[in-house]
Amino acid sequence: MKIGIIAHLKYPISKPFMGGLEAFTYDICQRLLSRGHDVLLYACAGSDPILNVRPILCAEDYHPITSSQFTSHQLSTEYISTHHAYVEMMQDIDKDELDVIFNNSLNYVPIMMSELVKAPMVTVLHTPPIFELKNAIRLEQNSGRIKYVSVSQTNAENWKDYAPNCEVILNGVDLAAWKFYPENDGGYVMWFGRIHPDKGLHLAIEAAKLAGKKLKVAGAISDQYYYETQILPRLDDSIELLGVCDHKKLNGLIGNAIVSLITPCWNEPFGLVVAESLACGTPVAGISKGALPNLLDGLTGKLCSGNDVQELADCILQAEKLDRYECRSRAERLFDVEKMVDAYEALFIKKAFEATRTKIKENVS
């Protein structure tokens, strides 16, 4: 099949990943290519060229330190630039003669323009309902040309008033690439991800201190103001900031941690850090928000009900007693990237077949 994958434009699709969506897009693109599909990735020019990138935004538009498309005070510029990039892409996309379009853009434009292109579309809802996507999806429902997928049952429930027939396909990780650590020898807890208010690193720091544990932090600063006002004042000798780590180093850091701290401050639809931590055998202590309660069970994680850092500290002490083999087993059952790609591949084939059948009927009539 010829598959066009539309990426979001906040960050390039390249290693080291800024977040879970970049990792998701990279993995599925690479694996579809390896399965013999003809894949085009519509993304920033700074994305990894092995993914057969069709650039729709110049690499020069990205900040050299944060890798973000624009700094926060340039929001209107980012909005306009992204809008134009997607409009131009959708105007020209039929030239690529695609069998199916796989939309991961988080943007309203591909949805609003889906009726103007020949190829059918599969759109993944990587976020909770947001204003622009809600309106676009509500209007698109009249045509029904798009199949919507959610990355968790929790998020599918959140979208049910706008995309009622949303299929659920859990995100996956490459289990072969994440080494399992049946024992840890680090004596620390681990937090990894983008340093941003949504991710709640400030809560993780406070909880680790209350639990009497050292905390290692891996990830890029994606909100400088948050870092300077909420993180820097909390730093002491018990907190180690490691910056962006390559995969091998991150695997070792997570695997040798007694617990991974996951502290969402918003209704996160999935959280790839959950799958990555469990794949390493590392149990989770976190905040019961978004999809986290459905991704974990009592054998693999302990969650506090709110932002109470003392309760979160207690969860750390409880989670370190959990069986690491149970963690790896849950990752293998639920978060295998090959099973994820199998599900999407089957959906693409079905969607392309339905589109072809509809076209034949229209030609006959």
Whether residue 301 is found in the same domain as residue 320: yes
Which 8-state DSSP code applies to residue 231?
I
Instruction: List the domain range (segments joined by +) for residue 232.
Output: 188-334
Q: Is the pLDDT of residue 66 over 70?
A: no
Please give the C-alpha separations between residue 118 and each of 32, 104, 288, 353, in angstroms, as whole numbers. 21, 18, 42, 13
Q: Is residue 198 domain-shared with residue 280, that is, in the same domain?
A: yes
- Residue 182 maps to a domain: no
Q: Is 325 left (phi over 0), alpha (psi -120 to 50) or beta?
A: alpha
Residue 297: CATH number of its domain = 3.40.50.2000
Residues 164 and 37 in one domain: yes
Tally the domains of the chain.
2
327-347 pLDDT, tens digit per residue, is 999 999 999 999 999 999 999
Please indicate, yes or no, if residue 164 is contained in any of the structural domains: yes
In this structure, the answer to whether residues 58 and 146 fall within a common structural domain is: yes
Alpha-carbon gap, residue 270 to 263, rounded angstroms: 13
Domain check: are 20 and 163 in the same one? yes
Percent of the chain having pLDDT more than 70? Answer: 93
Give yes or no: residues 62 and 205 share one domain: no
Residue 6 sits in the same domain as residue 115: yes
Q: Tens digits of per-residue pLDDT, 185-218?
A: 889 999 999 999 999 999 999 999 999 999 999 9
Do 203 and 164 sit in the same domain of this protein?
no
In a shared domain, residues 352 and 306: no
Q: Mind listing the pLDDT tens digit for each residue in 127-171?
A: 999 988 999 999 888 777 899 999 999 999 999 999 998 999 999
pLDDT digits (tens, 9 = 90+) for 316-327: 999 999 999 999
Q: What is the CA radius of gyration of the chain?
A: 21
Q: Decide if 137 is inside a domain.
A: yes
- Residue 260 within any structural domain of the chain: yes
3-state secondary structure 273-336: HHHHHHHHCCCEEEECCCCHHHHCCCCCEEEECCCCHHHHHHHHHHHCCCCHHHHHHHHHHHCE
- Asked, for residue 178, whether it belongs to a domain, the answer is no
Residue 300 belongs to some domain of the structure: yes
Residue 257, CA atoms < 13 Å, CB-side half-sphere: 32
Same domain, residue pair 226 and 243? yes
